[in-house]
Amino acid sequence: MFVAKAKRGLSDSFFIEPSTGRKYNIEDAPYYTIESIFNHRNYWINMEPSRGIEEINLEFENDT
């Protein structure tokens, strides 16, 4: 699960691995890509060719 810093008063965004509850910094996450993202309003699916997670913009300001 990706936790964005926007609107939460967090200093950094991070990942939480749902199966273990372990927190990972963006740079240290063991993931290769992001397949989908969701919130209480929408569900987005990544349809771009796979790129490394370090190349994906993880700043989500517009959640409409």
What is the average pLDDT across 1-26?
Answer: 84
**Alpha carbon of residue 10 to chain centroid:** 14
Residue 23, pLDDT above cutoff 90: yes
pLDDT tens, position by position, 31-58: 777 778 787 888 888 777 766 666 666 6
Q: What is the pLDDT of residue 13?
A: 84
Ranges of each domain in the chain = 2-50
**Most distant pair of Cα atoms in the chain: their distance:** 32
Which region holds residue 5: left if phi is over 0, alpha if psi is between -120 and 50, else beta?
Answer: alpha
Across all residues in the chain, what is the average pLDDT?
Answer: 77
pLDDT of residue 45: 80
C-alpha distance from residue 27 to each of 23, 53, 55, 58, 63 (Å):
12, 9, 11, 12, 24
pTM of the model: 0.56
